[in-house]
C-alpha cells in the first residue's frame, strides 16, 4: 500500500454513519496527515436542492472530533483542483461510487498532471445518509 504525506477527502457527512467512518479510517491508513473538507450548507443546497439535516457547524465539529482526522476545512466549492491549489495534498480519497462520474474523471486527469493520485475506496453497501433519512422519515 502506497503511503502519502497529505491526503484529502470531502463529504457532506450528514447523519454521520459507519460508511463515513470507513472512508475516513481507510484514508488515514494511507497518509500521514488527513485533511477533510466538509460541504457547507450552501454548497449542498446548490446541487442537492435541499439542506442537510445537520447544520454545517455541527457536521464540522463531528468530523473534527474523529481521531483519524488531522484538519477540517469548509468545502464551499466542488472544485477539487482549486482545493489542491490551496492545500497541496498528494492524494485525493473518494468512494468508488464516484468512479466514472464526469466530475471526478476530469479532476482525476488534472491531478495526474500535477502528481496527485486519486484513490477510490469501496462504497460501504447498505448504508447512506439517504437510507438513514428514509428510515427516520425525514
The strand order across the sheet containing 4-11 reads 71-75, 31-39, 4-11, 91-95, 117-121
74 closest CA partner among 108, 42, 106, 28: 42
Look at residue 134 in the predicted model and tell me its pLDDT.
Answer: 64
Kindly state the cell numbers that stand for 76. 464551499
Evaluate whether 66 touches 26 at the Cβ level (below 8 Å): no
Q: What are phi and psi of 50, to 5 degrees?
A: -160, 150
Instruction: Write down the pLDDT at residue 98.
Output: 83
pLDDT by residue, tens only, the chain of 138 residues: 789 999 999 999 999 988 899 999 999 999 999 999 999 999 999 999 999 999 999 999 999 999 999 999 999 999 999 999 999 999 999 988 888 888 788 899 999 999 999 999 987 666 665 666 566 665
Locate 119 and state its grid cell: 484513490
- Cell digits of residue 16: 454521520
Residue 47 is part of a domain; what is its CATH number?
3.40.50.620
Query: What is the distance between the alpha carbons of residues 94 and 122, in angstroms, rounded to a whole number?
Result: 9
Q: Which residues constitute the domain of residue 91?
A: 4-135
What was the pLDDT predicted at 61? 98
44: left (phi over 0), alpha (psi -120 to 50) or beta: alpha
What is the Cα–Cα distance from 98 to 69, expressed in whole angstroms? 22
Cα dihedral 57, 60, 66, 69 in deg (nearest 10): -150
- Please tell me the total count of domains within the chain: 1
Amino acid at each position: 500500500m502506497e503511503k502519502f504525506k497529505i491526503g484529502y477527502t470531502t463529504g457532506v457527512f450528514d447523519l454521520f454513519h459507519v460508511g463515513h467512518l470507513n472512508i475516513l479510517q481507510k484514508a488515514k491508513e494511507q497518509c500521514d496527515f488527513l485533511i477533510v473538507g466538509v460541504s457547507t450548507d450552501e454548497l449542498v443546497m446548490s446541487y442537492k436542492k435541499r439542506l442537510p439535516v445537520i447544520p454545517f457547524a455541527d457536521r464540522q465539529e463531528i468530523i473534527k472530533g474523529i481521531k483519524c482526522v488531522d484538519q477540517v476545512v469548509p468545502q464551499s466549492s466542488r472544485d477539487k483542483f482549486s482545493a489542491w491549489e490551496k492545500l497541496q495534498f498528494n492524494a485525493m480519497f473518494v468512494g468508488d461510487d464516484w468512479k466514472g462520474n464526469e466530475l471526478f474523471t476530469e479532476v482525476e486527469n488534472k491531478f495526474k498532471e500535477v502528481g496527485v493520485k486519486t484513490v477510490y475506496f469501496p462504497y460501504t453497501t447498505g448504508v447512506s445518509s439517504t437510507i438513514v433519512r428514509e428510515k427516520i422519515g425525514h
